[in-house]
């Protein structure tokens, strides 16, 4: 099922976590005086933002589900039902 262009989905857990990690690394970049660490922390924050945007795009084109937990078997069941 493909999404209509321009309609945004509700952010998934993965996207929210990526945004939180990006904010965390931006904060670290601002807190350090070392220019090398500032650059690395900023790059890592950018990577997390990119991951969130790419996932959003994959959901929009229908390549992945917006809720992967809905398709996973419960832990310990290995996809089998108990008799």
pLDDT tens digits, residue range 13-43? 888 899 999 999 999 999 999 999 999 999 9
- Please tell me the pTM assigned to this model: 0.66
28 or 83, greater pLDDT: 28
Distance of alpha carbon 19 from alpha carbon 17, whole angstroms: 5
Distance of alpha carbon 4 from alpha carbon 31, whole angstroms: 41
Q: How confident is the model at residue 56 (pLDDT cuts 50, 70, 90)?
A: confident
23 or 66, greater pLDDT: 23
Q: What phi, psi does 82 have (nearest 5°)?
A: -85, 140
Does the pLDDT at position 2 exceed 50? no
The structure tokens 């039902």 sit at 81
């Amino acid at each position: 099922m493909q999404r209509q262009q321009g309609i945004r989905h509700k952010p998934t857990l993965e996207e929210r976590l990526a945004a939180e990690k990006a904010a965390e690394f931006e904060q670290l970049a601002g807190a350090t005086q070392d220019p090398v660490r500032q650059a690395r922390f900023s790059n890592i924050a950018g990577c997390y933002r990119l991951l969130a945007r790419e996932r959003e795009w994959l959901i929009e084109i229908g390549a992945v589900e917006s809720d992967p937990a809905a398709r996973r078997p419960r832990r310990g069941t290995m996809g089998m039902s108990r008799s």
